[in-house]
Chain A
Amino acid sequence: MSGRQQKAERIRELMATQGEAVEENTREFNDGRYESTGDLSEYEALRDEARAIQEDAIERIPELVDQVTEAVEANGGTVYVADDAADANEYVRNIVADADADSVVKSKSMTSEELEVNEALAADGVDVWETDLGEFVLQVADEAPSHLVAPAIHKSTEDIAALFDGHFDPEEPLETAEDLTTFARDHLGEKIREADIGMTGANFVTADTGSIALVTSEGNARKCLAATDTHVAVAGVEKLLPRFEDLQPFVELIGRSGTGQDITSYVSLFTPPVDVPTLDHEADELGSADDREFHLILVDNGRMEMREDDQLRETLYCIRCSACANSCANFQHVGGHAFGGETYTGGIATGWEAGVHGQESAAEFNDLCTGCSRCVDACPVKIDIPWINTVVRDRINRDADQELSWLVEGLTPDEEPGGVDLQKRLFGNFETLAKFGSATAPVSNWLADWGPNRWLMARIVGIDRRRDLPEFQRETLVEWFAARDDRGPSDPGREVVLYPDLYTNHVQVERGKAAVRVLEALDVGVRVPAVRSSGRAPLSQGMIETATDHAEDVATQLGRHVDEGRDVVVVEPSDLAMFRREYERLVDEDAYDTLADDSYEILEYVYGLLEADPSRSDRFRNADGERLAYHSHCQQRTLGLEPYTTEVLGELGFDLVTSEVECCGMAGSFGYKAEYYELSMDVGATLRDQFEDEPRVVASGTSCMEQLDDLLDVPNRHPIEEVADRLE
């Protein structure tokens, strides 16, 4: 089996066995996030504050380590800075040996998963018990967490009941979630009573007071700490916050962002060793709090190198809330066992895995990020997670040895070295393909669809044979515009450049023509110059150098028009997102500002024209309540642009229904790839279920349109085509 087939097989298996539970739970978390953050009036201000605290804290890690060491030692505890996992584990083993302990109870800690401390202690014959119920389930099942916050999210009540009945053989079979909770609570209560050492992680550590904050719901972390005399806390060095007061925005954001709870049941603020009496079970009395010991282990394990890395540094701002996983359509369908590395799961996992375990671990799942950018809006500290994924993809490309690379090296016009996977290279150079496709259409389309060629495409570059290929138009939008007799309005109020994005120019040419017609009807002078493609295609394949080359050309060409007073209007939302977001990282600041400030999505622009002069609505025939179903595009949504389309269509009198799902599942080239085709269709199924009886369907993104073509029987168009059809 090829690597692609193996990956497809693994994804298929996870969708079948875990997909349902993961989808139900993550979607509930995600819906809860919208609701809970929506209730918080200062939400955006708190995100800014949290972001600023993290930037400062990561900058000052060495100083904060010194400060917290002083504070903890003054409180009567110890601090150890561990270079790596082996170092940290050895330190823990020594503490356990010094205490002559034979059992350790733990509360949930992803950092301890990263260290694999349980295995290290087990090798010494120490019993380690996970007391978080989700972690306990996984310990019994001998599985890895599939989610940062809810580690056993992939298991249903029935799965767990079968697991416990098989493992513990209780007198009465366990059935309900309540039965299982009571059983686990009693079982673990016994382990906590017997244990000598309590081990926790830390959500935050405040350097000035030596306090640790633990954000939990079950109460097990409190119990592990209250019931044992020795407390060991492990935390990455990035968990340090300068001041106790810095906790406030994080306490308000973490639960809302993650599981959609305003606050979890317990936010424990311990400044250990705590002044809580110990429990002496033998004498059946409370002991003195003076007997308590505390050890804080601060873990480097690659973090200080991440801190020096301009691209990975942002990962350290992560508070591990899981919003990036819950908001991700691919994650919702496969969970963290596919969308995750050795320890970490979800979108941000690429940064963590590349930083702490190495690039190979990130390479396993990095392609599941399609760059839709929903997680950026969901992240409480505004990490540009798709960018981290792109950077790591680029590094993986550069480090890989690619078979057959001699075949394409020199033939493809990109800036990349030979290691880039052939499939990525094909999609990354889509502009070349599209130019050739249009120039030779319809022959190119016949050839592309010809059986043996589909076989070759599937075999060599992994394009799934079940997908229809884009159909190239012989006459491009630029050619059509140059050749037409109509010169547009004689006395235009404004002038625009309609950006001929790759798809509008070569494939979806009709939507480009419709855009020209509508703009001209609204007294706008239009130009459609030949401009290079935006670089979205190579960027999505991790080909940053090639994308930068495109971006510089496009910003220069379009910038010239802006300087001459023309606005830039864009049909394809993913290209507008390039101009407004990614170009900030690809071109110089002035060029970025010029283009970002003066480029508009087509319906956003039409909306503005109608707002400026409402009488212009008279130029359209009312749709008189005709039913129309609309699916917006992911980046269009995260840029906040969807309402312009719905407003304009509503204004024209359509009875509009909008899709409830945030993602169609196609995501550019993603859904064409053989290893991801089935996942893509699985994500799309929800959209199909909602739209399958709709008589007319429109969508803004090219990918969404292609996906809808495969999902639905009725053809679909871009909303601007409906608008153009209503011109008087």
Chain B
Amino acid sequence: MSTSAISSFEESLSTRGLPLTRTAAADAADELTALVEPPAIGTQLPYSGVSLPENVITELSPSVLESATVGITPAALAIADYGSVVIPDDGSGSEHVSLFADEHVAVVAASDVVASMSEAIGELGEQVRDGLTSAIVATGPSATADMGELVMGAHGPKVVEVVLVTDR
């Protein structure tokens, strides 16, 4: 973790107008509860002492995915220069959860914030060689300009929020 990478990540998010919530691990569940409007779905967060709020559905099915308004997933990395998060799926279903709901909440540990794309690709290269098969560098909501103007929320989420766990 580097303090300058974190402040640069926060600045990039702010430049893009993307909301950020900072929280300590102990308060993460409360922060998430306040943030999400049910029905919410989620995949397990791998940070010690951090769990999903109780009303978040983790038993996934196509109909649950279709009806959810919010999806919560962990992010493997955050890239400070771009305000991006990297969504991995190693069988958890995070790819679906981060894609089907109108709002995606990405939870990232401060120690996983890297400064540059170069560092991120370097790190991902190692993870891919270790067997990670699906990693999305996601920056803001899905968008299209194909209908003559910019519209947020094309096939993917309309809103993206980042929750930064400051002590993990």
Contacts and interface: CB of A to CB of B under 8 A. Distances in A.
A181 to B, nearest CB: 4
Contact of A281 (B62, B135, B140, B154): B62
Contacts of A275: 89-91, 131-134
A247 B121 contact: yes
A247 B89 CA distance: 20
B84 A276 contact: no
Interface stretch (A126-134, A354-362, A458-466, A625-633): A126-134
Contacts of B84: 263
B148 interface: yes
A244 interface: yes
B42 to A, nearest CB: 14
Contacts of A132: 146
B96 A150 contact: no
Given A150-B146, A252-B117, A286-B60, A276 B156 contact: no
B155 A269 contact: no
Nearest to B89: A276
B133 A219 contact: no
B142 A209 contact: no
B79 to A, nearest CB: 9
Contacts of B150: 177
Taking residues whose C-beta sits less than 8 angstroms from the other chain, chain B's interface range is: 35 or more
B96 A279 contact: yes
Interface string B118-160: 1001101100110111111111111111111111011111000
Contacts of A269: 124, 128, 134-137
Contact of A251 (B117, B151, B154): B117
A137 B150 CA distance: 16
A265 B63 contact: no
A180 B148 CA distance: 10
A218 B156 contact: yes
Contact of A284 (B63, B129, B134, B139): B63
B93 interface: yes
A248 B144 contact: no
A244 B125 contact: yes
B89 to A, nearest CB: 5
B118 A226 contact: no
Interface string A242-281: 0111011001100000010011111111111111110111
B95 interface: yes
Given A157-B148, A223-B156, A271 B133 contact: yes
A173 to B, nearest CB: 15
A245 B151 contact: no
Contact of B138 (A155, A156, A265): A265
Nearest to B125: A244
A273 B95 CA distance: 14
Contacts of A133: 144, 146-147, 154
Contacts of A184: 147
B9 interface: no
B121 A245 contact: yes
A217 B143 contact: yes
Nearest to B137: A267
B143 A280 contact: no
Given A244-B128, A266-B156, A150 B145 contact: yes
Given A160-B148, A226-B95, A188 B136 contact: no
Contacts of A267: 136-137
A185 interface: yes
A266 B142 contact: yes
Contacts of B144: 133-134, 181, 217-218
Interface residues of A, number: 67
A97 interface: no
A286 B93 contact: yes
A152 interface: yes
A265 B95 contact: no
A226 B99 contact: yes
B133 A273 contact: yes
B48 interface: no
B122 A245 contact: yes
A276 B95 contact: yes
B142 A217 contact: yes
Contacts of A150: 145-146
Nearest to A251: B117
A558 to B, nearest CB: 45
Given A265-B156, A266-B156, A219 B124 contact: no
Interface in A27-41: none
Contact of B125 (A151, A189, A245, A273): A245
A137 B95 contact: no
A128 B134 CA distance: 25
Interface string A70-91: 0000010000000000000000
A289 interface: yes
Given A274-B89, A275-B91, A286-B93, A177 B133 contact: no
A72 to B, nearest CB: 12
A553 B91 CA distance: 69
Given A218-B155, A223-B156, A209 B128 contact: yes
B34 to A, nearest CB: 26
Interface in A145-167: 150-152, 155-160
A277 B155 contact: no
A222 interface: yes
B155 A211 contact: no
A21 B135 CA distance: 35
Contact of B93 (A180, A244, A277): A277
B146 A265 contact: no
A284 B61 contact: yes
Contacts of A589: none
B99 A271 contact: no
A34 B128 CA distance: 34
A220 B155 contact: yes
B154 A217 contact: yes
Contacts of B121: 244-245, 247-248, 251
B99 A219 contact: yes
Contact of B154 (A75, A218, A272, A279): A218
A119 B136 CA distance: 31
Contacts of A185: 153-155
Given A244-B125, A286-B93, A265 B149 contact: no
Nearest to B119: A248
Contact of B134 (A220, A259, A276): A276
A180 B133 contact: no
Contact of A271 (B132, B147, B155): B132
Interface string A208-247: 0101000001111011001000000000000000011101
Contacts of A176: 149
Contacts of B90: 275
A220 B154 contact: yes
Interface string B34-48: 000000000000000
Contacts of B124: 244, 269
Given A185-B155, A247-B121, A269-B128, 6 more contacts: A151-B146, A157-B147, A209-B125, A270-B133, A276-B93, A286-B62
- Sorted nearest first, the 8 A-B pairs with minimum C-beta distance are A219-B156, A157-B148, A218-B154, A134-B146, A177-B149, A133-B146, A177-B147, A219-B142
Interface of A: 21, 25, 75, 131-134, 137, 150-152, 155-160, 176-178, 180-181, 184-185, 188-189, 193, 209, 211, 217-220, 222-223, 226, 243-245, 247-248, 251-252, 259, 262-277, 279-281, 284-286, 289
16 contacts: A133-B154, A134-B144, A152-B146, A160-B148, A219-B156, A252-B117, A265-B140, A265-B156, A269-B136, A271-B128, A275-B89, A276-B134, A277-B96, A284-B61, A286-B60, A286-B61
Interface of B: 60-63, 65, 82, 84, 89-91, 93, 95-96, 99, 117-118, 121-122, 124-125, 128-129, 131-151, 153-157
